[in-house]
């Protein structure tokens, strides 16, 4: 993505810092456009992911226009003729990651071809982008493998989000809010009324959403996810069963053990012994 273009009318003070990290096959960039900024027309040579952090953009690709708002991410495929028009009333801040087509595995390229043009920005995607942009310029040679791995991770996260691993157009906002809370509050005690408040709907409506979209109940989903995380900690750390239970939000080690037995047919210590070869 070229640097921000000159804006007509009033001059707006913008940061001159443009963060980048690049190899011959992957490029991460971060830039702010002034009001009325544009980019293109151009023919897209790469797979490019764009994240809008502030402002808005209208992107025309082969005569089809995609409107991007802050908090959204978009995918642009190789060969498309593009023109970006940014907000006329304020600055627009966005990041992007471009990957050469020959670097992208065929299976991933096929999945991207079927993905939607834009999605809601996920925390995972935002983290991957920030990791790519956080590398100091003088470390790029040593970090080439890391930059390229992060580029592929960004594409894979987009496919994952599009497939239902994160927010999709078919996923109601209330369900998304509930799932985000469950994912980021794994140690906090919860009940159905609390989870419904986090989701912004009634308990009955939340139960309906979980049954309709996930074929389970909200609390069963909570404890299934916490059990999964607890088993991961058993296998990957030296925390005691009681410590694992506490950090995953279980009421007691017995409560945790009961769920582990129900899902895995063995108590926590037996699972750890098997995983460790003890």
**With bands split at pLDDT 50, 70 and 90, how would you rate the model's confidence at 182?**
confident
pTM: 0.61
What integer pLDDT is reported at residue 240 of this predicted model?
93
Question: Is the pLDDT assigned to residue 36 strictly greater than 70?
Answer: yes
What is the rounded CA–CA span in Å between residue 88 and residue 10? 11
1 burial level (CB within 10 Å; 0-12, 13-18, 19+): buried
**With bands split at pLDDT 50, 70 and 90, how would you rate the model's confidence at 72?**
very high
Among residues 147, 153, 37, the alpha carbon closest in space to that of 93 is found at 37
Q: What domains sit in the chain, N to C, each tagged with a CATH number?
A: 19-165 (2.60.120.10), 173-276 (1.10.10.60)
Among residues 98, 62, 69, the alpha carbon closest in space to that of 83 is found at 62
Structure tokens at 129: 């982008």
What does the pLDDT look like over 50-61, one tens digit per residue? 999 999 999 999
Report the range of poorest mean pLDDT among 18-27, 111-120, 266-275. Answer: 18-27
CA-to-CA separations, 251 to 148, 242, 245, 255, in angstroms, rounded: 43, 10, 8, 6
What is the rounded CA–CA span in Å between residue 85 and residue 36? 7
Give CA torsion, residues 111, 114, 118, 121, to 10 deg: -30
What integer pLDDT is reported at residue 172 of this predicted model?
80
């Amino acid at each position: 993505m070229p640097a921000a273009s000159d804006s007509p009318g009033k001059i707006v003070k913008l940061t001159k810092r443009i963060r980048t990290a690049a190899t011959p096959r992957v490029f991460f960039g971060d830039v702010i456009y002034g009001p009325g900024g544009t980019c293109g027309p151009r023919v897209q040579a790469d797979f490019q992911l764009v994240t809008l952090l502030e402002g808005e953009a209208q992107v025309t690709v082969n005569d089809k226009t995609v409107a991007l708002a802050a908090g959204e991410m978009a995918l642009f495929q190789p060969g498309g003729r593009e023109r970006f028009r940014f907000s006329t009333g304020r600055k627009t801040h966005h990041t992007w990651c471009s990957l050469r087509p020959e670097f992208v595995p065929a299976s991933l390229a096929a999945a991207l071809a079927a993905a939607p043009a834009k999605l809601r920005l996920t925390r995972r995607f935002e983290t991957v982008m920030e990791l790519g942009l956080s590398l100091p310029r003088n470390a790029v040679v040593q970090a080439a493998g890391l930059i390229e791995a992060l580029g592929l991770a960004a594409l894979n996260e987009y496919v994952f989000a599009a497939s239902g691993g994160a927010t999709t157009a078919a996923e109601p906002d209330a369900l998304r809010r509930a799932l985000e809370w469950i994912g980021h509050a794994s140690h906090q005690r919860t009940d159905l009324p609390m989870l419904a408040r986090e989701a912004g709907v009634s308990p009955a409506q939340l139960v309906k959403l979980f049954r309709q979209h996930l074929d389970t109940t909200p609390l069963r989903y909570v404890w299934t996810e916490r059990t999964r995380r607890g088993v991961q900690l058993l296998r990957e750390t030296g925390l005691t069963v009681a410590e694992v239970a506490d950090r995953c939000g279980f009421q007691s080690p017995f409560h945790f053990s009961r769920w582990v037995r129900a899902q895995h047919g063995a108590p926590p210590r037996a699972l750890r012994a098997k995983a460790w070869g003890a």
